Each structure stands twice: as C-alpha cells, then as structure tokens.
C-alpha cells in the first residue's frame, strides 16, 4: 500500500506521483544501486520512444491485440501439454510399480523352483529305506543327475541309436563315433521294447 504523503505531511498525489518526481526517483535509485551494477535506463525524452497502443501495428507486423491473443493461445496449449505430461508421468509411475511387483513375483517363483529342484535332488540322493518300495520318480531323478552332462538328442537321431542305460522313460543312447546322448521316450514301456529289440538282435551294435 502506497500513501502519497509529502514532506510536510500532506496527502498530495500530484506531487508524490508526478511524472517528473517519478523520473527523479528512478534516477536516484539507479545512482544508489550503482555499486551493485544497476544502470539508469535512457529516458524516453532522449530516445523519443513512445508506448504502442493496442490498436497500432508494431514494427514486427500485426496488431498488439492479435499478438496478445496468439500468446494466450500458446500459453493455453502449453498448459494442456504440461497436464498431459503429468498424466503420462503418473502412468509411468504406475507401470513402474507393476513391473517391480512382477519382477519380485518372478524372482520368488525362480527361488521356489530352485528350492524344489534341490529338494528333489537331495531326496533322490538318499538311499530308500528297506521297508519302503523303490520310488520310480526318485530313480529317474538319480538317473538324470548321473547323466546330466549328456546332451539330449532328436527323435531322428534316437531312431538309429543303441541303448546304453535306461531308467523309467529316460535312456542313454549310443549314436556312434563315441557320442552318447539322453532321450526321453513317451513311456517306460517304449524303453523296454527298445531293450528287448536289441536283445533279439534288431538294435545296432553299441560298440560301433
């Protein structure tokens, strides 16, 4: 709040806010602020500048009112774009949270699968008790653990192989040239039929 008080305590806007008084104050203010790098602008009396009315065309072309309308439209567009950016940022935060939750679930599932695999291997490594029957799943697990270094072969390769060892529906086949590979048959009966066929002389020579 500014109150136009004169030096002698009178209310007189003509003296305090007169054009010449305001110019004097601008000059004295700039002089007081010289140590801080402030410089007094050149007075309009010297530059002969004048204010441009809204109905006039400035040097760049177009009325000032039209330029003001264009500026307002540009500001409105900027505000809309900023709002869209904020919405997208919010969606990005939500997606990031969902991705983090899914990654945690995947990690937990992987840990559980690894733990279950370790339990199966440990159970398979234990010798079965005498009063309990042999477990086929345990026997196959031990068999796969024993031959885990061997690669699996395709059905086409398995058709020409010779049986080396088997357990359940899994078997080790000799494919020739010193190569052995694992193969999974549809059932344990299929492995038994292959073994009987080789015993009867229909299989290939394992020593080939």
- Tens digit of pLDDT for each residue in 94-126? 888 888 888 888 888 888 788 777 777 777 666
pLDDT at position 10: 92
pLDDT at position 64: 67
pLDDT at position 34: 93
Q: Is 72 left (phi over 0), alpha (psi -120 to 50) or beta?
A: alpha
Q: How far apart are CA 174 and CA 176, in angstroms?
A: 6
Is the entire prediction scored with pTM above 0.75?
A: no
pLDDT at position 63: 65
* Pair type for strands 179-184 and 170-176: antiparallel
Question: If you search the block for the tokens 């939500």, which residue do you land on?
Answer: 94
Q: How far apart are CA 154 and CA 127, in angstroms?
A: 33
pLDDT at position 29: 93
Q: How confident is the model at residue 203 (pLDDT cuts 50, 70, 90)?
A: very low
Segment 68-89, tens digit of pLDDT: 788 888 999 999 998 888 888 8
DSSP bridge pairs for 172: 165, 182
pLDDT at position 131: 45
Percent of the chain scoring above 90 in pLDDT: 8
3-state class (DSSP) for residue 5: strand
Q: How confident is the model at residue 31 (pLDDT cuts 50, 70, 90)?
A: very high
pLDDT at position 149: 87
3-state class (DSSP) for residue 48: coil
Segment 122-172, tens digit of pLDDT: 776 665 544 444 678 888 888 888 898 889 887 778 777 888 888 888 999
Which of 187, 190, 192, 159 has the alpha carbon at shortest distance from 173?
159
Q: How far apart are CA 124 and CA 94, in angstroms?
A: 45
């Amino acid at each position: 709040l500014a109150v136009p008080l004169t030096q002698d305590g009178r209310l007189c806007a003509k003296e305090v806010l007169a054009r010449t008084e305001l110019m004097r104050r601008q000059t004295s203010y700039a002089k007081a602020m010289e140590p801080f790098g402030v410089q007094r602008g050149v007075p309009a009396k010297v530059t002969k500048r004048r204010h441009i009315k809204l109905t006039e065309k400035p040097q760049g072309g177009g009325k000032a009112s039209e330029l003001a309308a264009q500026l307002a439209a540009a500001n409105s567009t900027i505000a809309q774009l900023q709002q869209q950016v904020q919405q997208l940022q919010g969606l990005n935060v939500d997606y990031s949270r969902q991705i983090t939750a899914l990654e945690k679930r995947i990690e937990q599932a992987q840990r559980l699968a690894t733990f279950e695999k370790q339990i199966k291997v440990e159970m398979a490594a234990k010798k079965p008790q005498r009063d309990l029957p042999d477990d086929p799943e345990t026997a196959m697990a031990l068999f796969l653990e024993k031959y885990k270094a061997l690669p699996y072969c395709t059905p086409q390769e398995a058709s020409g192989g010779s049986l080396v060892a088997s357990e359940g529906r899994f078997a080790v086949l000799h494919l020739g040239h010193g190569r052995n590979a694992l193969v999974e048959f549809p059932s344990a009966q299929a492995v038994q039929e292959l073994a009987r066929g080789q015993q009867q002389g229909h299989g290939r020579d394992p020593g080939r």
